[in-house]
Structure 1
Amino acid sequence: MRSARSSLLVICLALLGCQAGLPLSRVRLDDEGIVYLYLQPLAREAERLQFTIESVSAAHRDLGEVPLALALGELRGSELRRQRLLAAGPLPAGDYSGFVVRTGKASLRGEEGPAALLVPEAPTRIEFGFTVRRGEGSIVSLALRYAQSVEAGFRFSPAFAAFAPERTAVGLLGFVVNSRSSDVSVFDKRSMQVVGVIATGREPSGIALDQLARRLYVAVSGEDGVEVVDIMSGTIVDRIRLSPGDEPVALALAPDGRTLLSANRGSNTVSVIDPASRFERAKVQVGSGPRSIAIDRTRRRAFVFNAFSNTVAVLDLASGAPIRSIATAPGPVRGQFNRRGDRLYVIHETSAWVTVIDPVTLTVSARLPVRSALAAIEIDPGTDFVYLAGRGEPTVGLHEPFSFAPVDFVATGAGVVDMATDREANTLYLVVPDRNRVLVVDRISKRTVGELDVGDGPTWITLIGEN
């Protein structure tokens, strides 16, 4: 046991090392868009290279240099084997000629250790024409040309190629909501790279995906609405307006796509929305502090988790009419059904319990102790085992579904707030907000096989083809 704990500590420290992420950025103004600048993996020949970047700016054709928030200041070739977020931020709408990068120190590792390289005083200019549109987001990829950057082994003059990411097949897409940067990161599940960004209203929170209609619904709590995104174009096509002060935080879409539910934190209500007409059919009062919604396997009932009143409200899915309120342990925030749909597992953010609800009798059938308060739950589609994660936990636990005895763990190094399973690829996606990152885990080996740098404050994730 001591050896296992020591190994876990080493893994967590390794995961916590070399962290970088998008710093808390200023609020995007109405006449601005947002740009993310990603660095592609370096060639193997660049593994001995190490350098620092002091600043990155976008070159506006009329306004001159506009600074971006630097996400990655120190670059080591041996650690840049995946796509990394270099810089990002809001930019005034208009035409740009490229980017300006100011480098600091650079060195090249040799047999006797690192040797300093000469770095030019003048900044590096990257020619790449692009247009920033009001209220929209875009991605620019950078590739370092190593052979052209290191001259004769003693001088470093970075040469970058800039390009727009290739279009990804819709079936390979995943989406991450970033609450503080007010956008949605779009990623390719196969390449494990971010390929797009959708600028949203203020403080986006919950997300729901209609795979057949190719629509994405985003709860915008800071603007009391639900935005409708066309997945094919990656643009917002409409906004469903709720009442002032509703503060929608979570969404749930009926499997037939005909009913969209919104949990509204500000008004302690659930909005029943017709996605076709984008009209709010009804508004139902629920308990205090609704945080998320789960729809049962019969597709007839919705379960609303009320964190402050310590209840789960049961609603008729079609009409929204209340059926029953079920008392739970303190702080219920999320819930998921097992494969058969006869057990609803409820997790709590303020108490170390899992409440099990019988969805037929609408009663609590069990209350099981766990190690700590929780933030996320995911059911393994192959085994019915339960993944549990907390904001303050450096691991994700895998539990047997009846006794909830731990059977395995996934080392994350930081807390996780949401999870999603890609059954086809046999992977588990973990949202790590403190590092502005998503981890991709192999469900068999429980090892991390990929990482994605996303926006600021990731909260929810969904995938095309999600279990």
Structure 2
Amino acid sequence: MKRPPRALGVLRAFASESGAIGGWASVAKRGRGHDGGEIAKRANIMRAFIRPPANTPRAPAPSVHAPRIGPESFDIVAGGRKQREQEENAVPLSPAGLDDDRMPSHFKDIPMKRPAPAALLVTAALLVTTATPAAAETLLVGNKGEDSLSFIDLATGKELGRAATGRMPHEIALSPDGRQAAVVAYGGASIDIFDIAARTRLRTIDLSPNAGPHGLVWLADGRLIATTERSRSLTIVDTRKSDAVSTIPTAQEATHMVVVSRDGRRAYTANMRSGTVSVLDLEAGRKLRDIAVGGEPEAIALSADGKILWVGDNKGARVQAFSTSVDVHDPIAVVATGGRPIRLAISPDGKWVVSSDLETGGLSVIDARTRRKVRDIRVSGNAEAQQVTILFSADGARLYVAETGRNQVAEVDFASGKVLRRLEAGKAGDGLAVAP
């Protein structure tokens, strides 16, 4: 729809008087970074739209100019839509709602400006839509060698801080909303709950008389499912009912890791010293049976549809696949790995099963459909790195690999197998989680 000539003339005169054309020129000149090309293009389009014809007399400049949209206010807009909305009528102050540890240094001393007139706020909205960055993900690392939890900003690769945990933190699980993290104290008998944004411990859940919590899953309904190895059991914590604790005995030795079906009804535990996997009914609160898998099962993973159970054997340097839909539990596939597949991870799309091979410091990639190994990814390169936990990013593009002997986490591009960077964590960082 065409703008009426009178309205267009008013807009052009206003833009000329307020300095908006100059401000857009500044933005177009500066817009060459992340998404900069699109910003510059929008700026040039708007500048061309409001430029007055050559024969139009320029309105005299007023004694007081309206605020210009120039580089300084562009930095503020890029800081976030929420910040601008909250501060529309504020006097100059430091930006609100930002963590000082994560705030870019050039934000800290920039005063917030009073909003420009309505016409300029339209153009500011364009900038906000184009330039607002997505919230950074946070990598959580359980440092079992120093009883702490690291919070690492994946946008910058820098550690934001550490919080004290119980003794020997290992596995980590995120709450259904991604705002909290549960961390086991493998050397004790408790689970700590942390507020991720605040990086603080909210409470500690006592599991006694159960002890040695290790494998951990936080279900969508709010229940926490943890193996309690020294008690030869599976412990269930209902966070909906004041952290009420219940127990299902496995009666197996070294019940170490656990996976749960998507519907929350079945749990499978890897019992290392018994050479078995226990199948447990979480609704009935009882063990159904044990599957003799042989060797020393530790790593365990379950397909999204719950039909295929993958189990790593530390002694046999192999990964076995079992069907969960039959009573006869001979493996339907056996895949040789590079050595001691201590952890397993399934890609978000379900196409790949990856084992973390402790002895070789590499990753074995298995095609989930053909159940054959298709490639190796060299990460740590040797046993001294003590490569243990692996975790896919939400989009499946990256893998995070805990190198506990180096106090680092390697970030790996899954497609190319290239190590993109190494992130510094605490001593003997092992358990991993990525919070949105």
TM-score by length of 1: 0.60
Q: CA deviation at 1:409?
A: 1.9
Q: 1:190 to 1:254 in 2, by over 3 A?
A: same
Q: What fraction of aligned residue pairs are identical, expressed as a percent?
A: 23
User: Contact conserved, 1:211 with 1:464, CA < 8 A, in 2?
Assistant: no
Q: CA deviation at 1:268?
A: 0.9
Picking from 293, 318, 330, the partner of 1:364 is 330
Q: CA deviation at 1:311?
A: 0.8
Q: Which residue of 1 aligns with 2:427?
A: 456
Q: CA deviation at 1:169?
A: 8.3
Q: CA deviation at 1:341?
A: 3.1
User: Contact conserved, 1:227 with 1:239, CA < 8 A, in 2?
Assistant: yes
CA distance in 2, matches of 1:219, 1:178: 11
User: Contact conserved, 1:353 with 1:367, CA < 8 A, in 2?
Assistant: no
User: Contact conserved, 1:396 with 1:412, CA < 8 A, in 2?
Assistant: no
Q: Which residue of 2 aligns with 1:62?
A: none
Q: Which residue of 2 aligns with 1:405?
A: 373
CA distance in 1, matches of 2:191, 2:228: 11
Where structure 2 has 5 or more consecutive residues not aligned to the other structure, the ranges are 1-100, 106-132
Q: 1:191 to 1:213 in 2, by over 3 A?
A: closer
What per-residue deviation string (whole Å, max 9, x for no partner) do you get for residues 4-59 of structure 1?
xxxxxxxxxxxxxxxxxxxxxxxxxxxxxxxxxxxxxxxxxxxxxxxxxxxxxxxx
Q: 1:250 to 1:405 in 2, by over 3 A?
A: closer
Q: 1:376 to 1:197 in 2, by over 3 A?
A: same
CA distance in 2, matches of 1:314, 1:256: 20
Q: 1:243 to 1:318 in 2, by over 3 A?
A: same
Q: Which residue of 2 aligns with 1:374?
A: 341
Moved over 6 A (4+): none
The DSSP-based 3-state class of the residue aligned with 1:365 is: coil
Picking from 390, 395, 400, the partner of 2:362 is 395
What per-residue deviation string (whole Å, max 9, x for no partner) do you get for residues 433-458 of structure 1?
11111000112211111211111111
Determine whether 1:308 maps to 2:273.
Answer: yes
Equivalent position amino acid for 1:409 in 2: I
CA distance in 1, matches of 2:431, 2:247: 25
User: Contact conserved, 2:344 with 2:355, CA < 8 A, in 1?
Assistant: yes
Q: CA deviation at 1:340?
A: 3.6
Structure (1 or 2) with the greater strand fraction:
1
Q: 1:378 to 1:337 in 2, by over 3 A?
A: same
User: Contact conserved, 2:178 with 2:435, CA < 8 A, in 1?
Assistant: no
The DSSP-based 3-state class of the residue aligned with 1:186 is: strand
What per-residue deviation string (whole Å, max 9, x for no partner) do you get for residues 123-173 of structure 1?
xxxxxxxxxxxxxxxx899x9xxxxxxxxxxxxxxxxxxxxxxxx987611
Determine whether 1:261 maps to 2:228.
Answer: no
Q: How does 1:38-57 map to 2 (within 5 A)?
A: none
CA distance in 1, matches of 2:278, 2:291: 6
Picking from 289, 292, 301, the partner of 2:254 is 289
Q: Which residue of 2 aligns with 1:229?
A: 194
What per-residue deviation string (whole Å, max 9, x for no partner) do you get for residues 323-359 of structure 1?
1111102111121123443211111222222221212
CA distance in 1, matches of 2:136, 2:263: 26
CA distance in 1, matches of 2:217, 2:381: 30
Aligned length: 302
What per-residue deviation string (whole Å, max 9, x for no partner) do you get for residues 184-215 of structure 1?
11111222222121111211122111141622
The DSSP-based 3-state class of the residue aligned with 1:201 is: coil
Greater RCO structure (CA 8 Å; 6+ sep): 1
The DSSP-based 3-state class of the residue aligned with 1:266 is: helix
Q: 1:169 to 1:252 in 2, by over 3 A?
A: same
CA distance in 1, matches of 2:153, 2:299: 27
Q: 1:236 to 1:331 in 2, by over 3 A?
A: same
